[in-house]
Structure 1
Amino acid sequence: MQNPYEVTGESVTQDYSVSVADDYITASMGRRFGNLILDGIFLQFVQFVTFFIWGAILSLLNEHGAQDLSIQAGLGFFSLFLMIAPYFLYYIGFEYGLGRTPAKFITGTRVVDELGNPPSLGKVVGRTFCRWIPFEGLSILFSDTIRCWHDSLPKTKVVKVR
């Protein structure tokens, strides 16, 4: 019988090439679709509240004589900004701050980088901008790894956490 603790002069190495992300299970297409629908609903609510408040502010400004064309142009530009800002604040704020949007809390998923770590701010910003690529939502249909372009380009993935 050989002693398993006996030193033989041979070095034993362990293969650490497997990444942490291999421990995660990629979220199914159904969960990803659920995220898309729920995030769309939540984002519409955020935009509704934003425009409701902005409309009240514009009404007050118009009542108090903000009729100058330069003021109107500035308000129009700010209105355009308010159309886009909630979208970026929603995704960047939730995915960078918490690793998941409200929809991902509901579906039990989260965003990680390719190593399974929380994504950096740059990766989250990249994900958010990639969502604006035309037909990006259809890119999941042509992927064998259930990853859209907003996952593959910034090198992130959505995984199950429960």
Structure 2
Amino acid sequence: MEVLNYKKFRVTDEMFASKGKRFLNYLIDLGFFYALFILLGVLLYIIAEITGSEGLYDFLIELENVNPIIDRLLTAVLLVIYYTILESLSQKTIGKLITRTKVVLENGERPPFEVFVKRSLCRIIPFDPISFLGKKGWHDSISKTYVVDDNVFNEQKRQHKNYQELGALNE
């Protein structure tokens, strides 16, 4: 009886999310991120007005006049937190949820938390947002992750599983 060789599942080029989807992910996530903080600012302003809290009002005024370097550092920290939390919870950000893409390791498995942290930290590298115009973005390459199209990935994974089960039945 012939024994089939078991092959480990691997992410292949045809599973990669398109550059268009990657760019759309970036735009959606950036838009959502800024909208979230604008909404938070408006909410805090309304609370300050309703409660008459001069301390909160003064804090909001100070935020408007913050040093540009501090502003960029704070924004970078908040972006790292945004990406780390969302991707570690579901392998997706809001952009990836909308475009039906997700982050996986080379073997198709879910990355561990520390990989999402590394991936998120890499996003603050200057010019990282345009690095995905190559085959992989820097935050993908450094963290050894892949952004894949959900539909193509799930179908390939299903076919791989069926092939492996067929091999087990033939033994």
**TM-score, scaled to structure 2:** 0.67
* Secondary structure at the counterpart of residue 30 of structure 1: helix
1:148 lines up with 2:137 in the alignment: yes
1:138 lines up with 2:130 in the alignment: yes
Q: Offset at 1:21?
A: 2.4
Number of positions where the alignment pairs a residue of Structure 1 with one of Structure 2: 140
Work out the CA distance in 2 between the residues paired with 1:123 and 1:150: 10
Q: Offset at 1:15?
A: 4.7
Cα distance, 1:149–1:24 mapped onto 2, change above 3 Å = same
* Secondary structure at the counterpart of residue 133 of structure 1: coil
Work out the CA distance in 2 between the residues paired with 1:132 and 1:41: 17
Superimposed CA distance per residue, residues 128-159 of structure 1 (whole angstroms, 9 cap, x where no aligned partner): 11111011122223x3xx31001000100100
Work out the CA distance in 1 between the residues paired with 2:105 and 2:125: 20
Corresponding residue for residue 88 of structure 1: 80
Letter in 2 for 1:120: P
1:43 lines up with 2:46 in the alignment: no
Larger RCO (CA under 8 A, 6+ residues apart): 2
Structure 1 portions without partners, runs of 5+ = 6-10, 67-71
Corresponding residue for residue 109 of structure 2: 117
Letter in 1 for 2:31: I
Q: Which has the higher helix share?
A: 2
Corresponding residue for residue 100 of structure 1: 92
Query: Which structure has the larger Rg?
Result: 1
Give the conservation status (yes or no) of the 8 Å contact 1:50–1:82. Answer: no
Cα distance, 1:153–1:82 mapped onto 2, change above 3 Å = closer
* Secondary structure at the counterpart of residue 110 of structure 2: coil
Letter in 1 for 2:25: N
* Secondary structure at the counterpart of residue 110 of structure 1: strand
Give the conservation status (yes or no) of the 8 Å contact 1:46–1:86. Answer: no
Work out the CA distance in 2 between the residues paired with 1:134 and 1:107: 25
Q: Please point out which of 4, 11, 32 is paired with 1:21.
A: 11
Superimposed CA distance per residue, residues 23-57 of structure 1 (whole angstroms, 9 cap, x where no aligned partner): 97000101101101111111111121233345567
1:34 lines up with 2:24 in the alignment: yes
Work out the CA distance in 2 between the residues paired with 1:50 and 1:14: 55
Work out the CA distance in 2 between the residues paired with 1:65 and 1:159: 45
Work out the CA distance in 1 between the residues paired with 2:85 and 2:127: 24
